[in-house]
Chains A and B, each alone.
Chain A
Amino acid sequence: MVEKFDAIVVGAGPSGNAAAYTLAKGGLNVLQLERGEYPGAKNVQGGIMYAAELEKIIPDFRDDCPTERHIIEQRVWLLGDDSYIGTNYRSDAFNTDRPNRYTIIRANIDKWFSEKIREAGGLQICETTVTELIRDGSGKVIGVRTDREGGEIHADVVIMADGVNALLAKRAGYQPELQPQNVALAVKEILFIDPELIQQRFGVKEEEGVVIEIMGKVTKGMAGTAFLYTNKESLTIGIGCLISDFKAGQCPPYKMLEDLKAHPVIKPLIDGAEMKEYAAHMIPEGGYKAIPQLYGPGWMVAGDAAHFNNAAHREGSNLAMASGRMAAETVLELKAKGQPCTAANLAAYKAKLDQSFIMKDLKKYRNLPSVLHGNKQFFSEYPDVINAAAHNWFTVDSVDKKTKEKQIMGSFVKTRSVLGLVGDAIKLVRSVR
């Protein structure tokens, strides 16, 4: 006899956990399946966690959630060959009882979240890969098949939160393959270091953290960004570029990461730290235009599997948690009304998404992916010429300031031409409005 649940959630990442917890808390009989050895074993995040969405799901999460440091300072660096120019925002007002952003270690958060799901009555089974959806004669999803013996399980609805590869939806014909220009590959390392050194080098106290977001020469002209985050006793450093660019280039991702670590402005920050893990993960960056079908008869898709990622603001896990919660709430509302999970009824999920920051933000930046993909000057010429301009301006050498201004303006025009500069400005502004 095949076992049947109210809902099956595939995957134990941020979206799957948010969905499973919300369903269990709502009193439904929910099964969550995870292919990893334990929750988090397959998950990779930078990682910054934004409190607001987790707070909606577990209001008192701060009581026992194993976060690392709350962020009090945000730096954005544009790297030259041996320099950076950038901005900082730091405020003591970020030292509140309820901080908004935390650095995290992904696996710690996933284990904690899974414990909450079990406490709420959800059943979670790890080491189980879901191989395909099971559909009835009408095409309605009625369950999943797993790689366990007799591994067929039925449910009224299946929420696919299986991550960026989204193999289940692809195999079912609900999604096309990811296009190389719509997905980035990021690699990262966790570097353990004496916390005292973190405090000294970044100018923070024990619980305080710093985020550095990085663009520039280190991606070798490819569309990509890098980051350096402070955890309690470790630093995470990573870099990612569009897969279309890696495909066209000749630089392996791990070499790019090594060049970043050796950069003269980065090296002193990570010096003496011990690397304990090397990870790689794809990031959906196609934005609004790459969002696939989000629901159908008996199924919904959430998180990275639904391409919910705001690359411009480096937000992903919050969109994942929000979409997982909304998928679960859609099911709870239908169950309360005694209505089945048909495609027409699950359209309420899409309506919730449309009303939320998820679709509003992705729509706002809908043209950004194609602009960045087609205009590599933002990742090559500009970092160069801006760093050189700063170097000129801050070198005091008896050249008069008017001449320096002319030299700097000339360097911009030489690099991009007047029309090119105006065009780039228009493109950038249009892509974010």
Chain B
Amino acid sequence: MSHMVKIEEKLYQNRYIVDESRPHIHIRSADVCSGSCSAKPCTVCCPAACYTLGEDGGVTLATDGCLECGTCRVICQDNKNIAWDYPRGGYGISYKFG
């Protein structure tokens, strides 16, 4: 079984209150992603596909679709390369149903 999945179509259904230019998650060092981390599990595990492989072999993070689950922080703990925080109060994903 293989089905093309457009994650954007899923995220489009959700309500977000975006905190413009104040992302709540940061990659600490781009060099760690493009260098010592060969597996880059964040690019597979993130349920909102916030992490994408760049052409330069690095990882790009866009937090706008983040579901605030915490998975990326848990899988990156050996490298400690993700600084993870909640958005400011009232911002981020706002589930209508949950």
Residues of A within 8 A of B (CB): 35-38, 40-45, 47, 81, 105-108, 110, 126-129, 146-148, 164-165, 167, 177-180, 183, 185, 187, 189-190, 234, 243, 246-247, 249-255, 258-259, 262-263, 275-282
Contact = CB atoms under 8 A, between A and B. Distances in A.
Interface of B: 1-3, 5, 7, 10-11, 13-14, 17, 39, 41, 44-49, 67-71, 73-75, 77, 85-90, 92-98
Contacts of A128: 89-90
A276 B13 contact: yes
Given A177-B74, A243-B71, A280-B47, A146 B98 contact: no
B78 to A, nearest CB: 10
Contacts of A107: 95-98
Contact of A129 (B44, B89, B94): B89
Q: By CB atoms of chain A within 10 A, which of B2, B88, B96, B98 has the most?
A: B98
B67 to A, nearest CB: 4
Nearest to B65: A278
B98 A105 contact: yes
A36 B45 contact: no
Given A167-B86, A187-B47, A249-B44, A243 B94 contact: no
Contacts of B97: 105-108, 190, 234, 276-277, 279
A185 B3 contact: no
Nearest to A82: B1
Contact of A247 (B17, B75, B92): B75
B11 A37 contact: no
Given A180-B75, A282-B69, A282-B70, A247 B45 contact: yes
Contact of A243 (B39, B75, B89): B75
Given A35-B86, A146-B89, A280-B69, 5 more contacts: A42-B68, A128-B90, A180-B75, A246-B75, A258-B3
A282 B95 contact: no
B13 A278 contact: yes
A243 B46 CA distance: 10
A44 B68 CA distance: 11
A352 B49 CA distance: 42
A277 B71 CA distance: 19
A258 B88 CA distance: 32
B25 to A, nearest CB: 12
Given A278-B14, A282-B69, A282-B71, A252 B1 contact: no
A107 B15 CA distance: 13
Contacts of B11: 278
B47 A40 contact: no
A262 B1 CA distance: 8
A253 B47 contact: yes
List 5 tightest A-B contacts by C-beta distance, closest first: A127-B90, A106-B98, A280-B47, A278-B10, A280-B67
A187 B41 CA distance: 17
